[in-house]
Amino acid sequence: MKVYIVRHGQVPHNALRKYCTVDEDLNELGITQAEELREKMKDIKFDIIISSPYIRAKHTANIINVNNIKIIYDDRIKERSCGDLSGKPLEVTDREEYWNYNTSIQYGTSENIKDFFNRVYSFLDELKQKDYNAVLIVAHSGVSKGFSAYFEGINDGKFLSRGLKNCEIKEYEL
């Protein structure tokens, strides 16, 4: 089964480089990014689209869904919760350490990276049992890091640079 993961288009907190737990919609640039991605993907045939239930992912999924494929939503592919870091600039943490699988540092009430990756792994393990040829996943940068860990391994444990940019797509074989 081919699995394509897309990160949603830009939202205000991305542009401001802040942590955010607010369920934000795409900004103008995010809509444009999704429209451009739709053009790049228009010839790829999907059996189903599975999206994070957050507005930004839903909106992106709807924009890129040129063939009006069924979209289902799964809580396991929500972004990693930043907890009480919400509203704070990204620089309040050591970003390398925040996305280090092997760290012992816990930033406030943010979701533990191992727990987060296990949530994503649970989604992928269940997806393996389905009889699809091609699936489109619309989610978040953190979720794409979890996909990277699942398909490419933990390696050195550093995931900061292993996430997708807004409206970037990556293909895996499951």
Catalytic status, residue 171: no
Q: Coil, helix or strand for 107?
A: coil
Task: Tell how far CA 141 is from the center of its chain.
Answer: 4
C-alpha–C-alpha distance, residues 36 and 30, integer Å: 10
Residue type, 12: P
Task: Tell how far CA 27 is from the center of its chain.
Answer: 17
C-alpha–C-alpha distance, residues 4 and 66, integer Å: 15
Catalytic status, residue 173: no
Alpha carbons within 13 angstroms on the beta-carbon side of residue 32 total 3
Extract the tokens encoding 140: 């978040």
The 8-class DSSP code of residue 78 comes to: S
Q: Which of 13, 24, 59, 79 is catalytic?
A: 79
C-alpha–C-alpha distance, residues 21 and 35, integer Å: 25
Q: Which of 8, 13, 59, 140 is catalytic?
A: 8
Overall residue count recorded for the chain in this entry: 174
What residues are annotated to the active site?
8, 79
